[in-house]
Structure 1
Amino acid sequence: MKKIIWGVVGLVLGLQAGEVYATFTVEAQKSAQLAFNASGIVGNVNIDIGSVVKENEILATLESDDINASLQLAKTQFKYAKKDFERQLKVKHLVDQESLDQYANKYESAKDQVILQQALFDKTILKAPFEGIIFWKELEVGDTVSGALLRTVLKLQSLHARKLVLSFDQKYWKEIKVGDTFSYKLDGDSRQYEGKILKVYPSADANNRKMQAEVHAKDLPVGLFGDGLITTQMK
């Protein structure tokens, strides 16, 4: 029993807490550069820099009277093609197969046309892919956009969720592990913060011989700089 106890004590004493210096920048956990996937003239802009938006909220639209008219026409044609086909199915024992196939083909073609026109109409609407805040905007009513040459018109980032992207010397690549504690300060803020490493990036930068890791945080301004110490368990 004494041997077991001394073995455990020796193992504990063999583990020493180490500290690794790291710098970091604050980034949004989610960010997106938004662009129209269609050509046209901007008809409405519903947001501005600083606007908080919900997922799938409409941010801007292109003028789409012609596309909407084509969509409504396609829906009308589909409605009547469907009625004709269903009517023929009820009396199919009285109709030759060739005629029935023609009605079926007309019905399927009308349905496909609705899908196509709906897809074209949807491309005139720019929606938020997730909840967040608009932090960059280069879009005004009357602007012309091209679907063939995608141009970023809005930038969106997560509202509260942040990540600290840490940079540390590559020689510690064996020591830094997921779950290690990171104690840090932000530039211009004397308070001490703490977080856990959630991700260690798998490669080193050949230019500066640094590796990176990630710690999550909330409500910090994106772009802030800071530094701190990673507490590791090293034998």
Structure 2
Amino acid sequence: MIKTLWIALLLTASLMGEEIYATFDVVARKEANLNLTTQGIVKHLNVDVGSRVKQGAVLLEIDNDDLVAGIDLAREKLKKAKIEEEFARLTYERYTQVKSVIDAELMDQHTLAYKKASATTSEAKASLRYQETLLEKTRLRAPFSGIIASRNIELGDSVVGASSLFRLISSPEVKLILNFDEKYLHSLKVGSKVRYRVDGQGKERLGSISKIYPSVNAKNRKATAEVLSTNIAPGLFGEAYILGK
């Protein structure tokens, strides 16, 4: 039923205006070359080419035993600091209740002790956060959900510099990059209907323009637009017809 309505709309529109021929390439809606800024030896390699991953998943982890130990130590220091701060707080509050009958210098000593204990706790918290940040930098996480398109690292390899370790692409979401004669650039608008067919596939699909690039390619005088689609492999190409005004 929906397909019938689409076809009816296209037939009606074609009577009102010309169809603009375009070619297209299929690319992932999102793609990223992933790397680490921290150097080290790969300890855990959790994905391979073709692996589907969720946003935030750990793809790779370099050796970080020293940082894990540092975090354990920082947690113990924070635990100790909190105990000492609590003791200093209780002592300060007890003396506050009787400060009118005790020596002012003694009250000042307990006030200072409480402030120092609080500062020590704050420093311990900051130290723990810093150690956790260093540890997190040894883990490479997926910035979005998708599929691993390429992998350039092996277990035991040394990660050095900012070389690309993985290429991650969104899946199954793709977009078609349409190229058409620049004279039609101002005849189109976002939402213009498009019918397209991937080369080598008999099935024709229907879509609409989601984005129009404002500039023209100076080399071939072609204008560019995008159509969102799904379940087409990036790297394929085809032909399309855009319904003009």
TM-score, normalised relative to structure 2: 0.84
Q: Distance in 2 between matches of 1:210 and 1:162?
A: 21
Q: Distance in 2 between matches of 1:73 and 1:37?
A: 25
Q: Distance in 2 between matches of 1:82 and 1:122?
A: 25
Deviation of residue 206 (structure 1)?
2.1
Q: Aligned partner of 2:191: which letter?
A: G
* SS at 1:87 equivalent: helix
Give 1:6's aligned residue. none
Is contact 2:88–2:110 with CA below 8 Å preserved after alignment? no
Which structure shows the higher helix fraction?
A: 2
- Which stretch of the first structure deviates more once superposed, 96-105 or 37-46? 96-105
1:75 to 2:75 alignment: yes
Runs (4+) of structure 1 exceeding 6 A deviation are none
Give 1:179's aligned residue. 191
1:45 to 2:45 alignment: yes
Q: Report Cα offsets for 1:3-60 as digits up to 9, x if no partner.
A: xxxxxxxxxxxx9312111111001111121111311110011111111112222211
Q: Distance in 2 between matches of 1:169 and 1:154?
A: 36
* SS at 2:168 equivalent: strand
Deviation of residue 119 (structure 1)?
0.4
Give 1:150's aligned residue. 162
Unaligned runs of 5+ in 2: 1-14, 96-108
Give 2:138's aligned residue. 124
Q: Report Cα offsets for 1:84-121 as digits up to 9, x if no partner.
A: 11221122143433322221221111110000000000
Give 1:106's aligned residue. 120
Give 1:8's aligned residue. none
Deviation of residue 164 (structure 1)?
0.3
1:206 to 2:218 alignment: yes
Aligned residues: 218
CA RMSD of aligned residues (A): 1.6
Q: Report Cα offsets for 1:158-211 as digits up to 9, x if no partner.
A: 121110011112211210111111111211122222111111112222222222
Q: Distance in 2 between matches of 1:68 and 1:74?
A: 10
1:166 to 2:172 alignment: no
Q: Distance in 1 between matches of 2:111 and 2:79?
A: 22
- Which stretch of the first structure deviates more once superposed, 85-94 or 213-222? 85-94
TM-score, normalised relative to structure 1: 0.88
1:221 to 2:233 alignment: yes
Q: Aligned partner of 1:140: which letter?
A: E
Say which of 195, 201, 207 aligns to 1:189. 201
Give 1:12's aligned residue. none
* SS at 2:187 equivalent: coil
1:58 to 2:51 alignment: no
* SS at 2:186 equivalent: coil
- Which stretch of the first structure deviates more once superposed, 59-68 or 206-215? 206-215
Q: Aligned partner of 2:143: which letter?
A: P
Q: Distance in 2 between matches of 1:132 and 1:55?
A: 8
Unaligned runs of 5+ in 1: 1-14
* SS at 2:220 equivalent: coil
Q: Aligned partner of 2:39: which letter?
A: S
